[in-house]
Chains A and B, each alone.
Chain A
Amino acid sequence: MNRWLLWLPLALFSLFFGAVAIGLMMPKDNIIESKMVGKPMPTFALPAAIEQRPALSSADLAKGKPTLLNIFASWCVPCIAEAPQLLALQKAGVEINAIASRDTPEDIAIFLNRWGNPYSRIGTDTTSKVQLELGSSGVPETFVIDGNGIIVHQHIGDIRQEDIAKLIEILKEAG
């Protein structure tokens, strides 16, 4: 037997050991991106989440102007963190519609009174049905939709201060 072949089991073991060690030590980063980006918005019609804002259907998201679709919930802490950024985007003239995920009208009203309401329309998705249609796996998530109702971008997690410029740019490109 070749002498170097003797080392093969050790080399294989090291490879295996290394792979396991890397897998154990790397922080878990399993963000699941939606495969719906680039595709038209699935057809849906959600009832209004609160009295003060109209209901949301997919037809509202294809009116010739690019819009943001924000998925939020009153029970979601990062949604509070992104509230000021959404208000800033609304001030900049961006139309933001929302889907409230697994929420009650009372809790949504309290949440919006407390942290601001940047939304034009809010649909309530009590069984995550539309969220599953969108390929979204959590809250908060924000989709950029062009004027023809095509999903052009998905932002996973809360919108930070530094994300605003990029989102506005994507909206401009979509328009």
Chain B
Amino acid sequence: MKRFLSLLLLCLAVPVVAQTGLPPAPYADRQLDDPRQEAAARDLMEELRCLKCQSQSIADSNAPMAGDMRSQVRERIAAGETPEAVRSWLIERYGNWVSYDPPIASAVTWPLWIAPIILLLAALWLARGRFRKSKGDE
């Protein structure tokens, strides 16, 4: 009986230390009615970084602030803004950091684009050395 009662009480328990008591923003978890707009919003959300859990996109994150950001993205796109305008609106406030699509011509982010090309060239150069040697051995 005691055990049953404690189980019953456990079911009634509510989290005391919740992060925030408020419901999510209107469009945090609700799709836009227009499927084309929703798809555009969705694509953008996957390329925006969550401010709280910084290794996730806002599409993946359960943080309340990510929900608020999703809602903002959907509301702005529903109002007719282009995804790129919404992205630059956020970049203006948080820097390139907030976008998973870094610009090529920026003092900090250009190595991200150049490094793979340099590595590929280096690999080709190394491989070329290999092939030449094996020919010489024959």
Q: Report if B54 contacts A (CB, 8 A).
A: yes
> How far, in Å, is A44 (CB) from chain B's closest CB?
13
Q: Given A30-B54, A75-B18, are A128 and B25 also a contact pair (CB < 8 Å)?
A: yes
In whole angstroms, what is the CA distance A137 to B68 when docked? 11
What is the total number of residues of chain B having a CB less than 8 Å from a CB of chain A? 26
Q: Which residues from chain B sit less than 8 Å from chain A, CB to CB?
A: 17-22, 25-26, 51-52, 54, 64-65, 68-69, 71-72, 90-95, 97-98, 129
In whole angstroms, what is the CA distance A35 to B93 when docked? 5
Enumerate A91-111 residues with CB–CB distance to B below 8 Å. 101-104, 107
In whole angstroms, what is the CA distance A102 to B52 when docked? 15
Of A34, A73, A107, A128, which is within 8 A of B68 by CB? A128
In whole angstroms, what is the CA distance A34 to B90 when docked? 10
> How far, in Å, is B130 (CB) from chain A's closest CB?
11
Indicate if the CB atoms of B93 and A138 lie closer than 8 Å: no
Of B19, B22, B72, B94, which is within 8 A of A32 by CB? B94
Nearest residue, chain B, Cβ from A28: B54
> How far, in Å, is B16 (CB) from chain A's closest CB?
11
Q: Report if A160 contacts B (CB, 8 A).
A: no
What is the total number of residues of chain A having a CB less than 8 Å from a CB of chain B? 25
Chain A to chain B contacts (Cβ below 8 Å), 14 pairs = A32-B94, A32-B95, A32-B98, A33-B95, A34-B93, A35-B93, A35-B95, A102-B22, A102-B64, A127-B26, A127-B71, A128-B65, A128-B69, A132-B93
Q: Report if A87 contacts B (CB, 8 A).
A: no
In whole angstroms, what is the CA distance A73 to B19 when docked? 10
Question: B129 contacts which chain A residues (CB < 8 A)?
Answer: 1
Q: Is the interface of A mostly helix, strand, loop or mixed?
A: loop
Nearest residue, chain B, Cβ from A73: B20
Q: Which of B51, B97, B129 has the most CB of A within 10 A?
A: B51
> How far, in Å, is A125 (CB) from chain B's closest CB?
9
Q: Given A127-B25, A127-B71, A132-B68, are A35 and B20 also a contact pair (CB < 8 Å)?
A: no
Enumerate A61-79 residues with CB–CB distance to B below 8 Å. 73, 75
- Kindly list the 9 A-B residue pairs having the minimum CB-CB distance in the complex, ordered from nearest: A135-B93, A128-B68, A127-B25, A137-B51, A102-B20, A102-B22, A30-B54, A127-B68, A75-B20
